[in-house]
Amino acid sequence: MSDNPSQPRTPVQVGLSTSSVYPETTSSAFELAGRLGYDGIELMVGIDPVSTDIDAVQKLRDYHQIPVLSVHAPCLLISQHIWGNDNWAKLERSAKAARQLDADVVVVHPPFRWQREYARDFVSRLRDLSDRSGVRFCLENMYPWRIAGTEMKAYLPQWDPSELEYEDLTLDFSHASTAGQQSLELAKTWGDRLGHVHLTDGTGSMKDEHLVPGRGNQHAGAVLQHLVGSGFSGHVVLEVNSRRSGTRAQREIDLSESLAFARMHLERAALPAFAGDTAGTADVLS
């Protein structure tokens, strides 16, 4: 954070998801996170072979001296067959990876609707796995799939975890935007169940955009300020689609801008003038 000793600091660490540098590699994410000043990494276990080799990731962590804050389990469409086809075994392996890397959070998506056996008793089994492993499994909010104007049920039990009995949740701003929701309202509704944040943005498109924060309609700055005011102590992880950056130079600019955005809002919310009034000042800075 700021080098000014008088500048207020928050306990919230700002990490970089390895997916934010795609099509570059997991190794590139560690290098960029260190050079740009991120507090840590979220490992997206996916199609990059290095991301599935936890011993290799541990070596990257130690070499770059960049901690791994969280692990994203391989539960995307593109990573369904990573680490095999037994979904509960994959979550067990994700917890093992988190423990080896000293990460305290595993991010997981709800099951797809065709994964009916995996979805059976999913909420209670996920809570049990979290208790047994000592790793906080934070279920991520998703969004409805829309085809030709028709909404399709893509996830079980459902895409919005708000009314379900998950103990720990991940708030993804882009997913909220695609779902037609507002991240600030979700953060307020979830309260202390909110354990992890994917910082990004969206314009309400049916496509999951994962824009640089501040370039969409999610009032990302307001949400960050709310986090500080509510005592949030989890991690904020940048998860953007930087393929649209076009060049390596522009990708670095976008990732640096995103980090500056996060730090500005988190630190300003900690100023005495903001204390107890983050809701009133957030829109000005968002």
Helix axes 122-133, 87-101, angle to 10 degrees: 30
Is 172 within 8 Å of 140 (Cβ atoms)?
yes
Q: How far is CA 234 from CA 11, 152, 247, in A?
A: 8, 32, 32
Note the pLDDT tens digit of each residue in 6-17: 455 567 999 999
Helices 220-229 and 248-269, packing angle to 10 deg: 40
pTM of the model: 0.91
Using 50, 70 and 90 to split pLDDT, how confident is the model at 77? confident
| 156-201 per-position pLDDT tens digit | 999 999 999 999 999 999 999 999 999 999 999 999 999 999 999 9
What pLDDT shows up at residue 10?
A: 61
What residue type is 277 in one-letter code? D
Residue 53 pLDDT greater than 90, yes or no: yes
Domain chopping of the chain, boundaries = 13-271
The predicted-structure confidence for 133-158, as pLDDT tens digits, reads as follows: 999 999 999 999 988 778 888 999 99
Task: Report residue 268's pLDDT band, with 50, 70 and 90 as the boundaries.
Answer: confident
At 150 the pLDDT is 80
Is 1 buried (19+), middle (13-18) or exposed (0-12) by CB count in 10 A?
middle
pLDDT reported for residue 172: 98
The residues, any chain, with a CB within 8 Å of residue 4's CB and separated by 6 or more, are none
CA atoms within 13 A of residue 209's CA, in its CB half-sphere: 22
Angstrom distance (rounded) from CA 138 to CA 212:
22
> Is 274's pLDDT higher than 70?
no
Give the pLDDT confidence score for residue 259 in this predicted structure.
98
CATH of 13-271, one of 1.10.540.10, 3.40.50.620, 3.20.20.150, 2.30.29.30: 3.20.20.150
283 against 68, higher pLDDT: 68
Mean pLDDT value across the chain: 92
**In angstroms, rounded to a whole number, what is the distance separating the alpha carbons of residues 160 and 142?**
6
Asked if pLDDT for residue 285 goes beyond 80, the answer is no
**pLDDT, average across residues 228-245:** 95
* Helix intervals (H) in the chain: 26-36, 49-52, 54-64, 87-101, 116-119, 122-133, 173-178, 183-190, 220-229, 248-269, 278-285
Please, are residues 212 and 239 in contact by the beta-carbon 8 Å criterion?
no
